[in-house]
Amino acid sequence: MKLKIGLLARILIAIVLAVVVGSFAPEWFVRIFATFNGLFGGFLNFVVPLIIIGFIAPGIAQLGKGSGKLLGLATFFAYSSTIIAGILAYFAASNVLPMFISQQSSADISDPTSFLATAFFEVEMVPIMDVMAALLFAFIVGVGMTVIKGDVLKRGFEELNTIVEKLISTIIIPLLPFHIFGIFLNMTFAGQVAKILSVFAVVFILIIALHWTMLIIQYTTAGLLNGKNPIKLLKVMLPAYFTALGTQSSAATIPVTLRQAQQTGATKKVTDFTIPLFATVHLSGSTITLVTCSIGVMLMNGVDFNFNSMLGFILMLGVTMIAAPGVPGGAVMAALGLLGTMLGFDETMIALMIALYMAQDSFGTATNVTGDGALAMIVDKFHKE
């Protein structure tokens, strides 16, 4: 019987091994992985524009299939929920995390170049376009495909979407544990890993608390609008929550989410349309995770931030993550470009961000799909009226 180890387990194993090996490994060994990290990080930068175009353009085109008013309501509530989740995460993380992270000595983390092992060589991989150009191109083409009657271009971008998904699932995701191993190996070698691992625990606990806070807000709103007990509604949706914990995929959980959403009392017409749609456009749990993790990483590296800069990041996240693939880590892959351009993340910060995100990806996905049931009830209420 072949033993299958999940992505989260592989990442945790990689971190533990890196901490152990990095405490005694010779510099030449660390430099091998530093070289790999440089190549892999450059490759990630190269594919970011392709990921943005491959996700957003066909995602917008697919949104044009629905019946107008219902589509508008569903998209409005999904985007609003995602943005509210991001703002909630900002205020919670910016007030809670500094109590645990700012007291650490940031000097060792903010300027690690004198401690980290360097790569043997570097290969420049220039992206075909910058992130903003990719976003504008994806918006123009995506909206254009909803207007024109032809489907040749649409099929082409759907195939590009499939290629990008394959690229993520067969190359990037399998190599991520090695990338994270190399990052933590180098940090252990430089004597920084203890500070970073302590941050992991604090950020993880805060994220889970925020996920459930957001679910309570969503179901309280749905319950008040429909005259139902929010706790009972949330209990009905728990099978979807636990299914998503296991699959780490909103798309794979759609059948369970759809069945449970109908048991909340929302009409079949609305749930049949909104639940598959929400699987791609409603990402409140993922947004909480990305915002909280990014603030944690910035505090670790002594990077200043404020509400105005983070609000722009949150607003763009709600769009950039549209149609993120049903593979673990799809949301953070879609957000890599924004992390670099809007928040100024370098390769080490992005690697830390990926590790933090992947450590609880299944919980973010579970929050996304469970919240879909509440939003379906809200849309159903307004659609009836």
Q: Are the beta carbons of 327 and 165 closer than 8 angstroms?
A: yes
DSSP 359: T
Contact status, residue 291 vs residue 357, Cβ threshold 8 Å: no
Determine the pLDDT at residue 106. Answer: 43
What six digits make up the tokens of 257?
């989410």
pLDDT value at position 385?
63
Give every CB contact of residue 215 below 8 A, 6+ residues apart in sequence: 234, 367, 370, 371, 374
Residue whose pair of structure tokens reads 């992270």 in the numeric block:
101
List the chain pLDDT tens, one digit each, 385 residues: 556 776 667 877 888 898 899 888 898 999 999 899 888 878 877 887 887 788 778 877 776 655 557 777 888 899 999 999 999 999 999 999 888 876 443 444 444 444 567 888 888 888 888 767 887 888 788 878 878 877 888 889 889 988 988 887 788 878 878 887 887 788 788 776 666 667 778 888 999 999 999 999 999 999 999 889 999 999 989 888 887 776 666 766 777 888 888 888 888 878 877 887 787 788 899 899 999 999 988 888 888 888 988 998 999 888 877 756 555 567 787 788 888 888 888 877 888 888 788 777 778 888 998 999 999 999 888 877 6
User: How would you classify residue 2: left for phi > 0, otherwise alpha for psi between -120 and 50, otherwise beta?
Assistant: beta
**Maximum pairwise Cα distance, the chain:** 69
Note the CATH architecture for domain 7-384: Orthogonal Bundle (1.10)
User: How many separate helices (H) and strands (E) can be counted in the chain?
Assistant: 17, 0
Joined together, the tokens standing for residue 130 give 């910058």
CA–CA separation, 262 and 125 (whole Å): 49
The answer to whether the beta carbons of residues 191 and 108 sit under 8 Å apart is yes
pLDDT at residue 183, rounded to an integer: 78
CA distance 41 to 35: 10
- Which residues, in sequence order, are CB contacts of 66 under 8 Å at separation 6+? 74, 273, 277
How high is the pLDDT of residue 109?
45
